[in-house]
Structures are given as structure tokens and as C-alpha cells.
């Protein structure tokens, strides 16, 4: 139907939404014969189903009526306090009233878009960066400015006065970045928060994978480092990767004046996050369950990552390079410059293998089309080896 004949008019932002070609291609990944390295799904073997079931039962049996009633927009107070206490592990000293509970980190991105972005506002992103964040922010029509990266991740010196001038915020994933799998060194973290403090650019630190470290040494979060030097840091956390994503539970940590605005925004957005979910997750984590649970999850991810790296060492030609993540879910592959990731995907799908091409992860920068993102988390070992062998052969044929 021609848009002029529609009996309704969409907003400018909605008119700009187009169905993504890659999304259409990746719909085939639901077919069982496809070996899919495209997903961002956590390993369901790591979901503590029985513990969560017990927690729901306890909450509904003991506090059913309050668990099923409307709750405060800020979130369930004991869970906010638990998050504040837990952040000591990443070197941050936070009060419970600096924590706002949200319906997954994706909602935090939407709310921060509402808070900070006017049409045309400059927003700084790593090149490449998380696609879901780009999608969220884009609804508020920012102008993206890419901050350069290398094999150590974001380059703080790339944050020049020119690059940073007037930026509403910089969006950073310091641990096992999506899509690259790279982790920022302590030196770069320190340099980043110092530059942002001097430039008065708020930092959005998105850390969904930080607890999934299975190699190397944990680094302090940008929140603690930034507060020490007067930077404004807004930290996003999530229970999706440490417990289960189907719960849709995450949180925002920020200075009180920002939390105060975000509470008003959250109220207009969905009133509050489900009370029952918050109480059940608090019931699950309050006794330190994650301390025993997370090592099991890390072991799964470490093994899965190892299978894929092994297979890549065996099957990928020397003209291809890739990251070796210390945690998280993703490996980033750089192909010879004449190979286009989207074109390779089309050929891979024909051989029943899928991944996400790298180009869409670049906002505000010339996309590196000879890249792709591989997720190793949910595919069984034998299928990983089979799929990587096929990809290797396709690359060699290119």
C-alpha cells in the first residue's frame, strides 16, 4: 500500500524504521538444520531453573499479595540495596537510592535515549558497538560520532576535543564487548574516565557480561574509577546473563539527579518493572547464590569459547584474524579486505551456517564490511567444529 493512501500518519522516527535485510536473512536461523553462530542467547544449561522456581514459590506463598500488586517505580527496595552492595565487587561505593531497577538493560538504553537525546544530538559510540543500543538510541534521532578502536578496544586518545564537543554521552562496553569480545585495560579505563571528566561527557558503562570472565584478570569498573576523578558515570547491569534473560531484569546506577529524571521517565514508560520478578530474583540472590552459581556458568562459556577458538585455529586461513575473548559470548573476525561479511553470510546460509555480518555494528563510522561476529554459547561442540570448518572452506574459496 502506498504510504499516501494509509489512513494514518506515522512519526518521522517510525517512518525511518525499515525492516533490516540481515534480520530477514537471519530468520532462517530458526530452522533446526542451521548451525547458528548468530544468536546472542545465553546457554540455557546455565539457568538455575529449580532455584528460581523455589524462589517464586517462596515469594508467592509468603508475600503473594504484595508481589502481585503495583510497586514503586524505583524498584523493590531490598533488591536495590542488594545491587548497591554487590557493586563493591567492581570497586564502586553506591547507595541504594542511586539504583533504579529496569526491565532488562535494553530498557535502560531506551530510557537513556529519552533522557539525553534530542534530534541531532551528538552521541559517541565505539566503532563497532552493540547493535541493540544503536537501535534504541536511533529512535531519538541522534547524530553518531564514532570513537576509534584497535585490538585493545576503545582508544581514549581518540576522544579529542573535536570528537567530544557537545556530545550528550559516550556509550562504552568495557568487558568482552559486544560485538568484538575485547576488554579495556586498566590504563585505558583510567585514561577514558579522566578524559570524560575533563570534557564533561557522561559515560554510559554497559556491563552485561562482566561476571562471565573465564580468563585474565578482572578490572575495576568505570563507575568506581570515574567517580574518583569526577566523571559522570551511568552504569547498566543485568541479570540476563548471570541468571536468565527471560526474566527481563536489569538496573541503572547513576547520580541522584539523573535517577530522579529516569524515575519520571520510567513511570511514563511502563510504571515499574514487575514486582513479582524483582522479589523472586531478590529471593534467589540474597543468600549469595551467585557466588556458587557463576563459576558453573563461566565453565560452560569457557569450554564453548575454547571449542570455537580451537576450530578456528584449525580451519581458518592465515589471512583471517580474530579476537580471543577473556569472557562473554562473542568472537570478532576480520576477513581479508576483499571479502564482504554480508555476501559471505548468503553463501554460508546456503551451507546451513549463520552468523551476524559486522557492518551493522558501525554507527557514525565507515563500516568495516570484512568483519563478522560469532557467538559460541548455545551450539554443541560437534556442531561448532562442523560450522567453523564450513566457514573456513567458504573463506578459502573467496
| Closest separation in Å from C-beta 311 to its own copies | 25
Instruction: Pinpoint the alpha helices (H) of the chain.
Output: 12-16, 21-26, 49-67, 77-86, 105-116, 131-138, 161-164, 186-199, 222-229, 256-270, 275-285, 289-315, 341-350, 381-397
| Choices 47-55, 143-151, 185-193, 324-332; region in contact with its own copies by CB under 8 A | 47-55
Distance CA(181)–CA(328), nearest Å, equals 7
| Closest separation in Å from C-beta 175 to its own copies | 20
- Residue written as grid cell 562459556: 301
> Helices (H) and strands (E) in the chain — how many of each?
14, 15
Please tell me whether residue 380 binds its own copies under the rule CB under 8 A.
no
| Closest separation in Å from C-beta 113 to its own copies | 8
| Closest separation in Å from C-beta 394 to its own copies | 28
Strand partners, 250: 102, 238
Please tell me whether residue 60 binds its own copies under the rule CB under 8 A.
yes
Distance CA(244)–CA(259), nearest Å, equals 25
Please tell me whether residue 319 binds its own copies under the rule CB under 8 A.
no
Cβ–Cβ < 8 Å for 219, 175:
yes
Which x/- pattern, by CB under 8 A, does the window 200-239 give for its own copies? x-x-----------------------------x-------
Please tell me whether residue 242 binds its own copies under the rule CB under 8 A.
no
| Closest separation in Å from C-beta 217 to its own copies | 30
| Choices 67-75, 157-165, 215-223, 356-364; region in contact with its own copies by CB under 8 A | 67-75
Distance CA(35)–CA(42), nearest Å, equals 16
Between residues 228 and 265, which has the closer beta carbon with respect to its own copies? Answer: 265
Binding residues for its own copies, rule CB under 8 A, total: 78
Q: What is the DSSP string of 59-114?
A: HHHHHHHHHTS---TT--HHHHHHHHHHGGGGT----GGGEEEESSHHHHHHHHHH
Which x/- pattern, by CB under 8 A, does the window 274-293 give for its own copies? xxxx----------------
Of the candidate residues 52, 94, 159, 184, the single one contacting its own copies (CB under 8 A): 52
Interface positions, 162-181, toward its own copies (CB under 8 A):
168-169
Radius of gyration of the chain (CA): 21
| Closest separation in Å from C-beta 168 to its own copies | 6
Please tell me whether residue 272 binds its own copies under the rule CB under 8 A.
yes
| Closest separation in Å from C-beta 276 to its own copies | 5
Between residues 87 and 117, which has the closer beta carbon with respect to its own copies? Answer: 117
Of the candidate residues 38, 83, 100, 258, the single one contacting its own copies (CB under 8 A): 258
Interface positions, 330-369, toward its own copies (CB under 8 A):
none
Please tell me whether residue 98 binds its own copies under the rule CB under 8 A.
no
Cβ–Cβ < 8 Å for 74, 262:
no
Of the candidate residues 128, 226, 237, 245, the single one contacting its own copies (CB under 8 A): 245
∠ CA 298-76-264, nearest 5°, is 110
C-alpha cell at 182: 575485547
Interface positions, 107-126, toward its own copies (CB under 8 A):
107, 110, 114-118, 121
Distance CA(299)–CA(62), nearest Å, equals 35
- Residue written as grid cell 559460541: 376
Between residues 66 and 352, which has the closer beta carbon with respect to its own copies? Answer: 66
Q: Which of 100, 351, 344 shows the shortest CA–CA distance to 234?
A: 100
Between residues 69 and 337, which has the closer beta carbon with respect to its own copies? Answer: 69
Give the C-alpha distances (Å, rounded to integers) separating 251 from 65, 77, 98, 222, 268: 24, 12, 10, 16, 17
Amino acid at each position: 500500500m502506498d504510504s499516501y493512501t494509509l489512513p494514518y500518519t506515522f512519526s518521522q522516527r517510525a517512518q525511518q524504521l525499515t525492516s533490516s535485510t540481515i534480520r530477514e536473512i537471519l530468520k532462517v536461523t530458526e530452522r533446526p538444520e542451521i548451525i547458528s553462530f548468530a544468536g546472542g542467547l545465553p546457554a540455557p544449561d546455565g539457568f538455575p531453573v529449580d532455584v528460581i522456581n523455589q524462589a517464586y514459590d517462596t515469594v508467592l506463598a509468603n508475600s503473594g499479595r504484595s508481589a502481585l500488586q503495583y510497586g514503586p517505580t524505583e524498584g523493590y527496595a531490598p533488591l536495590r540495596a542488594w545491587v548497591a552492595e554487590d557493586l563493591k565487587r567492581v570497586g564502586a561505593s553506591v547507595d541504594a537510592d542511586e539504583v533504579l531497577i529496569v526491565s532488562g538493560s535494553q530498557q535502560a538504553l531506551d530510557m537513556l535515549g529519552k533522557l539525553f537525546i534530542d534530534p541531532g544530538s551528538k552521541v559517541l559510540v565505539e566503532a563497532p558497538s552493540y547493535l541493540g543500543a544503536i537501535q534504541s538510541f536511533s529512535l531519538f534521532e541522534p547524530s553518531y560520532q564514532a570513537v576509534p578502536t584497535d585490538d585493545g578496544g576503545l582508544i581514549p586518545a581518540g576522544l579529542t576535543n573535536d570528537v567530544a564537543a557537545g556530545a550528550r554521552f559516550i556509550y562504552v562496553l568495557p568487558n568482552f564487548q559486544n560485538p568484538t569480545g575485547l576488554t579495556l585495560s586498566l590504563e585505558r579505563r583510567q585514561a577514558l574516565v579522566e578524559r570524560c571528566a575533563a570534557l564533561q561527557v557522561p559515560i554510559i558503562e554497559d556491563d552485561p557480561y562482566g561476571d562471565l570472565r573465564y580468563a585474565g584478570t578482572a578490572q575495576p569498573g568505570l563507575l568506581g574509577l570515574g567517580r574518583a576523578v569526577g566523571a559522570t558515570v551511568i552504569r547498566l547491569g543485568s541479570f540476563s546473563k548471570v541468571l536468565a534473560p527471560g526474566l527481563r531484569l536489569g538496573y541503572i546506577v547513576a547520580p541522584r539527579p539523573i535517577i530522579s529524571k529516569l524515575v519520571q521517565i520510567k513511570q511514563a514508560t511502563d510504571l515499574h518493572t514487575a514486582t513479582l520478578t524483582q522479589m523472586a530474583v531478590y529471593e534467589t540472590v540474597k543468600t549469595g547464590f551467585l557466588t556458587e552459581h557463576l563459576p558453573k556458568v563461566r565453565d560452560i562459556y569457557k569450554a564453548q569459547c575454547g571449542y570455537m577458538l580451537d576450530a578456528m585455529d584449525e580451519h581458518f586461513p592465515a589471512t583471517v584474524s580474530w579476537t580471543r575473548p577473556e569472557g562473554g559470548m562473542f568472537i570478532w573476525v576480520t576477513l581479508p579486505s576483499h571479502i564482504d561479511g554480508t555476501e559471505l553470510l548468503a553463501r554460508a546460509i546456503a551451507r546451513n551456517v549463520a552468523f551476524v555480518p559486522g557492518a551493522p555494528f558501525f554507527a557514525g563510522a565507515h563500516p568495516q564490511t570484512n568483519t563478522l561476529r560469532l557467538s559460541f554459547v548455545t551450539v554443541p561442540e560437534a556442531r561448532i567444529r562442523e560450522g567453523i570448518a564450513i566457514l573456513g572452506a567458504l573463506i578459502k574459496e573467496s
